[in-house]
Chains A and B, each alone.
Chain A
Amino acid sequence: MSKPVVATASLAGCFGCHMSILDIDDRILKLIELVEFNKSPIDDIKTFTKQCDIGLIEGGCCNSENVENLKLFRKNCKILISVGECAIMGGLPAMRNGIPVKECLEEAYLKCPTVDDNIIPNDDELPMILDRVYPCHEIVKIDYFLPGCPPRADLIWEALVALLTGKELELPYEVVKFD
């Protein structure tokens, strides 16, 4: 029987959640035994090559590329999981929410004392900035949420094992944290 396939992505995130996945220490060897990775920064596969069972999403959506990527994951993954505060509620990038994006851009590119070319980047190759940072579940259906900044390695591990083995998820108090 083929192994379940996992894909991961970091949208508007800091890769901290991915670091936390690696933080499961030697259980990573077990994980490799349990699953196969597809599109993910972990194995550097850039495009989906097959349907995946589980997609782990780090980060929310702050630009058009994030949105496209997230939709691609939804299309290619049976189960999609928001991993970390940014995916769940926008996180640090969402501190700009509530402030008009025009003000943010002006502050960053025009008024900021360290810029001197005074232009808001507008190359068509650049992703377009969204009016605010969107939690992933506002854009596509998300099946599970793993909070934390980053989620504790144990939480990610326990959740994955539960999903892969179909066992009941029983989490100790210490592993569900929002920071």
Chain B
Amino acid sequence: MSTINFTIDGKACKAKPGQTIVEAAKDNGIYIPTLCHFEGLKPAGTCRICTVKVGGRNMAACTTPVTEGMVVENKTADLEDYRKAIIEMLFVEGNHMCPTCEKSGNCELQALGYRYMMMAPRFPFLFPRRTLDASLPKIVIERNRCVQCLRCVRGITTADGKRIFGVVNRGGHVEITVDKDLAASMTDEMAQKAMDLCPVGAILKKEVGFAIPIGKRKFDSKPIGSEIEKA
């Protein structure tokens, strides 16, 4: 297969045909921050944190395929500020009480907050009233923390291909919910997968929590994306 040549912030990069900008950037040792993106799932482009500039236009790097000669701007001051702003929007849009959250330290939203040195969001907190569903046998859905990335919706299906998770309502009222009958049939493995897919603490496997001590969690000492970035 032919190789596609393109640049990110002036650096010459190579991509395989069909690769998105996010995937190709990773292969070239460049981190483009993402939240809703998850390797192996169909890109959704919900969070917009991966917004880059291509030919003067803002595009989501997770849904945009690389084309020959593409000139991608990634780490400009404007784009970095947009990304920080989106992270801040997410923090004020939900009720993110990090100190009480089982996912703290392993949470990708929080890790992005760290990476972008969010000391306090620029936007006022919205404090929405959201619900928690602990009625399911294997998992808890804590909607206060949900960022509507749709990873669970995209990634968890029954053996015959039915979606267990789905979205209801629209606009600021959208929420993740489940087909209760299908969710009742979830195995431990599926519950674990759902929890692992969730970038925040909105889907938790029941009867486990705080398993990793503070200091040893995923983002305690290394910023998100540092595994991709080459020195």
> Residue A34 at the B interface, CB < 8 A?
no
Task: Pick from B1-9, B73-81, B127-135, B189-197 the stretch touching chain A.
Answer: B127-135
Which of B99, B104, B124, B127 is within 8 Å of A92, CB to CB?
Answer: B99
A174 touches B220 (CB 8 A): yes
B221 touches A135 (CB 8 A): no
Give the distance in Å from the alpha carbon of A177 to the alpha carbon of B118 in the complex: 10
Which of B100, B130, B220, B222 is within 8 Å of A98, CB to CB?
Answer: B130
Nearest residue (CB) in A for B100 is A92
Give the distance in Å from the alpha carbon of A173 to the alpha carbon of B111 in the complex: 11
For window 99-114 of B, CB contacts with A under 8 Å fall at: 99-101, 104-105, 110, 113-114
B residues less than 8 Å from A79 (CB atoms): none
Q: By CB atoms of chain B within 10 A, which of A88, A146, A173 has the most?
A: A173
> Residue A85 at the B interface, CB < 8 A?
yes
Number of interface residues of B (CB under 8 A): 28
Give the distance in Å from the alpha carbon of A176 to the alpha carbon of B129 in the complex: 28
Nearest residue (CB) in B for A178 is B98
B95 touches A138 (CB 8 A): no
B residues less than 8 Å from A55 (CB atoms): none
Nearest residue (CB) in A for B221 is A174
B119 touches A145 (CB 8 A): yes
Give the distance in Å from the alpha carbon of A89 to the alpha carbon of B98 in the complex: 11
For window 119-152 of A, CB contacts with B under 8 Å fall at: 132, 135, 137-138, 142, 144-147, 149
B-side interface mostly: loop
B residues less than 8 Å from A145 (CB atoms): 119-120
Shortest distance from the beta carbon of A177 to any chain B beta carbon, whole Å: 7
Which of A89, A91, A135, A173 is within 8 Å of B223, CB to CB?
Answer: A173
A98 touches B120 (CB 8 A): no
A residues less than 8 Å from B113 (CB atoms): 178
Nearest residue (CB) in B for A133 is B127
Give the distance in Å from the alpha carbon of A149 to the alpha carbon of B105 in the complex: 13
Given the known A-B contacts A91-B99, A92-B99, A97-B95, are A173 and B221 also in contact in the complex, defined by CB atoms under 8 Å? Answer: yes
For window 156-179 of A, CB contacts with B under 8 Å fall at: 171, 173-174, 176-179
Given the known A-B contacts A137-B120, A147-B119, are A91 and B97 also in contact in the complex, defined by CB atoms under 8 Å? Answer: yes
Given the known A-B contacts A98-B128, A98-B130, are A88 and B120 also in contact in the complex, defined by CB atoms under 8 Å? Answer: yes
> Residue B208 at the A interface, CB < 8 A?
no
> Residue B231 at the A interface, CB < 8 A?
no
> Residue B174 at the A interface, CB < 8 A?
no
Given the known A-B contacts A89-B120, A145-B119, are A94 and B127 also in contact in the complex, defined by CB atoms under 8 Å? Answer: yes
A residues less than 8 Å from B121 (CB atoms): 89
A146 touches B119 (CB 8 A): yes
Shortest distance from the beta carbon of A173 to any chain B beta carbon, whole Å: 6
B residues less than 8 Å from A89 (CB atoms): 91, 120-121, 125
B residues less than 8 Å from A147 (CB atoms): 118-120
> Residue B211 at the A interface, CB < 8 A?
no
A interface residues with partner B (beta carbon < 8 Å): 82, 85, 88-92, 94-95, 97-99, 132, 135, 137-138, 142, 144-147, 149, 171, 173-174, 176-179
Give 14 pairs: A residue, B residue, CB < 8 Å, sorted on A: A82-B120, A85-B98, A88-B119, A91-B97, A98-B95, A135-B125, A138-B124, A144-B119, A147-B118, A171-B117, A174-B220, A174-B221, A178-B104, A179-B110
- Extra pairs beyond A97-B127, A179-B105 (12, CB < 8 Å): A82-B120, A89-B121, A97-B125, A98-B130, A132-B127, A135-B125, A146-B119, A147-B119, A178-B99, A178-B110, A179-B110, A179-B214
